[in-house]
Amino acid sequence: MNREQFRARLAQYKLIASVKEAKHLEKAAEANLSAAVLSIGNIGVIKGYVDYFKAKNIPVFLHLERIGGISHDREGIAFLGHYVKPDGIVTTRNTLVKLAKKQGLLTIQRLFLVDSDSIKSGLTSLQDTQPDAVELMPGLLPEFIEEFRSVIDTPIISGGLIRKREQMEEVLKHGATAVSVGSPLLWKECKNLDSSVVI
């Protein structure tokens, strides 16, 4: 999947499943997703998880800081790119975004908005790394989506602490392209989203 295809899928389905437990893999695969982000597993099982979603034609990203046994260096990212073969990665680290791009992987850079300095440094990071999408956290700060939207043309994913459909609607109204949630109940409730539906 290339950048344009991924961005089109984000705009169409609007929902990313953040999978944090192995028992939720099947539930995530039953939803209409932009992508699945895996925050589980280790070097021994992660290829099987990736292959599971790819067999169902669901783009799959790995949250690198949560996958055990894979080094966060050039060799580790090369191993991911050549052997595990996810569609992309999610990370907070500029260096990992750059390394992943060199391996042909899509990148979602995660930013935590904790104060005004983090907003400024986050925008600087995005200019430096040019990820395929940015995830702003926590998702309960929708007004800051508009601030980022006015400065960057990168798709914005909103995630973190979102527990209700109404919160998902709010971040989309403020300009998020998609919403990342870890609740299987929300995946099910929002299963039939598409580009014609504003949730």
Q: Please, is 59 exposed, middle or buried when counting C-beta atoms within 10 Å of its C-beta (0-12, 13-18, 19+)?
A: buried
**Tokens 């007004």 belong to which residue?**
143
Question: What does the DSSP assignment read for 9-74?
Answer: HHHHH-EEEEE-SGGGHHHHHTS--SEEEE---BTTTHHHHHHHHHHTT--EEEEGGGSBT--SSH
Taking CA atoms, 109 is separated from 48, 57, 101, 118, 199, in Å, by: 24, 23, 12, 14, 24
- Please state, in angstroms and rounded to a whole number, the distance separating the CA atoms of residues 112 and 136: 6
Which of 4, 5, 34 has its CA nearest to residue 17?
A: 34
Q: Kind and range of the H or E element at 102?
A: helix 94-102
User: What's the pLDDT tens digit per position in 120-162?
Assistant: 999 999 999 999 999 999 988 888 999 999 999 999 999 999 9
Domain boundaries, the chain: 3-189
Q: Which of 56, 63, 12 is nearest to 37 (CA)?
A: 63
**In CATH, which of 3.40.50.300, 3.40.50.2000, 3.40.30.10, 3.20.20.70 is domain 3-189?**
3.20.20.70
Instruction: Report residue 24's pLDDT band, with 50, 70 and 90 as the boundaries.
Output: very high
Token representation of residue 37:
């982000």
pTM score: 0.94
Of 97, 108, 100, the closest CA to residue 157 belongs to 108
Cβ neighbours of residue 64 closer than 8 Å, sequence gap 6 or more: 70, 72, 89, 90, 91, 93, 96
* pLDDT tens readout for residues 171-187: 999 999 999 999 999 99
Model confidence pLDDT, tens digit, residues 43-70: 999 999 999 999 999 999 999 999 999 9
